[in-house]
Structure 1
Amino acid sequence: MISTNAFSYADVLTKAADASYLRETLISNNIANVDTVGYKRQDVGFESVLERELGMSKYEMLDQKIENIHMNHLTATAYTDAENFSYREDGNNVDIDTENVELAAEQIRYQGLTESIDQEFSRLKSAIGN
């Protein structure tokens, strides 16, 4: 049986794309609830998880870090941001301008991730010879 980590990068990119998609959904929900009394914005914690996983092998090359990453640890988790904080009297902590900028940035990130996944599979296909 041949063991390979050929899909390791694609797996990490897929996890990142899933997190980005979830973040887009939550930001859209935040925008939809900008006028909801007491609503607290939500966001996704993924980058810190990825950074922690990659940082566990400080003196290894990126290829080795990706091979040693625990995929089951790379999960996007939604959280309520600044749960007890609100600068508005109605208790809502959504800033529409910030959310719109975050949404645009996340859309660009998602597009970059999906293009990277596509390129990774193109490289694998080229290596196979098809």
Structure 2
Amino acid sequence: MDLFSSTFNVLERALDYSALRQKVISENIANADTPNYKAKQVNFRSFFQQELRNAFEGRRTDPRHIPIRSSTSNPVQQTSNPFQYNHNGNSVDMDEEMSKLAENQIYYYALADRLSGKFNGLENVIKGGK
């Protein structure tokens, strides 16, 4: 029996995704004036599909059954678009990057708040509801 629900693992992976997205967005902003730099993004759809495939672990009732194992996956970084926004071959759109940065910050804070709520619930159970 697991002591904690799988919600903790899901929230942990979501925080990892958000941290990686923050890093990629920051790199894009930092390289806004770098000639021929192509903006990158984290592909959430492929990350989510990998997580769904790996989220379930099969239980073997017979040794002849094929084992199904859960493994961790990493979000995919890729070049976001081939468009050139600057005369120097750079594809960083600062307005879009700042929008992504704000969206990711809200997402991260919501996840952190949910994780904090889960821990507060556990603390309440441990204290006996007092």
Query: By how many angstroms is 1:39 displaced?
Result: 0.3
Two-structure CA RMSD over aligned residues (Å):
2.4
Question: Is the CA contact 1:16–1:113 (under 8 Å) kept in the aligned structure 2?
Answer: yes
State how far apart, in whole Å, the 2-side matches of 1:47 and 1:90 are: 31
2:18 maps to 1:20: yes
2:99 maps to 1:101: yes
State how far apart, in whole Å, the 2-side matches of 1:24 and 1:110 are: 9
State how far apart, in whole Å, the 2-side matches of 1:44 and 1:103 are: 13
**1:79 corresponding residue in structure 2:** 78
**SS, match of residue 72 in structure 1:** coil
State how far apart, in whole Å, the 2-side matches of 1:71 and 1:111 are: 26
State how far apart, in whole Å, the 2-side matches of 1:94 and 1:18 are: 24
Q: Which has the higher helix share?
A: 1
State how far apart, in whole Å, the 1-side matches of 2:23 and 2:79 are: 14
Q: Which stretch has the larger CA shift, 39-48 or 100-109?
A: 39-48
Structure 2: 5+ residue stretches without partners = 58-69
Larger radius of gyration: 2
The structure whose RCO (Cα within 8 Å, separation 6+) is larger is: 1
State how far apart, in whole Å, the 2-side matches of 1:119 and 1:47 are: 27
Alignment map for 1:1-130 (pairs within 5 Å): 3-4=1-2, 6-51=4-49, 53-54=51-52, 68=56, 70=70, 72-73=72-73, 75-82=74-81, 85-88=82-85, 89-129=87-127
- In the superposition, the TM-score normalised over structure 1's length comes to 0.73
Structure 1: 5+ residue stretches without partners = 57-65
> What one-letter code is carried by the residue in structure 2 that aligns with 1:126?
N
State how far apart, in whole Å, the 2-side matches of 1:18 and 1:53 are: 12
- In the superposition, the TM-score normalised over structure 2's length comes to 0.73
State how far apart, in whole Å, the 2-side matches of 1:32 and 1:72 are: 29
